[in-house]
Amino acid sequence: MANRFISAGIRRFVFGARTLCSSVDSRASAFHVPLARKLKSRKQSPLPALKNWVDEGNDVSHSELRRIARTLVKSKCYHHALEVVKWIENQKNFHMIPADYAMKLELIIENYDLMEAEEYFMNLPDSAAKKAACLTLLRGYIRVRDTNKAETFMVKLYELGLVLSPHPFNEIMKLYLATCEYRKVPLVIQQMKRNKVPCNVLSYNLWMNACTEEEGYGVAAVETVFRQMQNDRNVEVGWSSLATLANAYKKAGQSKKAILVLKDAERKLSTCNRLGYFFLITLYASLKEKEGVLRLWEASKAVGGRISCANYICILICLVKLGDIVQAKRIFLEWESNCQKYDIRVSNVLLGAYARNGSMEEAESLHLHTLQKGGCPNYKTLEILMEGYVNWQKMDEAIITMKRALAMMKDCHWRPPHGLVLAIAEYLEKDGNLKYANKYITDLRNFGLFSLSLYKILLRMHLSANKPPFHILKMMDEDKIEMDNETLSILKAFTGCVQAEVFGGEAVTWNSVSFLG
Q: What are the pLDDT digits (tens) for 128-170? A: 999 999 999 999 999 999 999 999 999 999 888 888 899 999 9
Q: What is the pLDDT of residue 134?
A: 94
Average model confidence (pLDDT) for the chain? 87
pLDDT in tens, 36-62: 344 445 567 777 877 777 777 777 778
The rounded percent of the chain whose pLDDT value lies above 70 is: 87
Q: What is the pLDDT of residue 413?
A: 84
CA 76/CA 99 separation, integer angstroms: 19
The string of DSSP letters for 81-145 reads HHHHHHHHHH-TT----HHHHHHHHHHHHHHS-HHHHHHHHHT-SSHHHHHHHHHHHHHHHHHTT
CA 89/CA 104 separation, integer angstroms: 10
Is 242:265 a contact under the CB 8 Å cutoff?
A: yes
Average pLDDT over residues 347-363: 96
CA 218/CA 33 separation, integer angstroms: 63
Per residue, what are the HEC states of 167-235?
HHHHHHHHHHHHCCCCCHHHHHHHHHHHCCCCCCHHHHHHHHHHHHHCCCCCHHHHHHHHHHHHHCCCC
Please, what's the b/e burial string for 192-231 (b: 16 or more CB within 10 A of its CB; e: otherwise)?
Answer: beeeebebbbbbbbbbbbbbbebeebebebbbebbeebee
Confidence of residue 92 (pLDDT cuts 50, 70, 90): confident
Which range among 37-46, 100-109, 163-172, 369-378 shows the weakest confidence by mean pLDDT?
Answer: 37-46
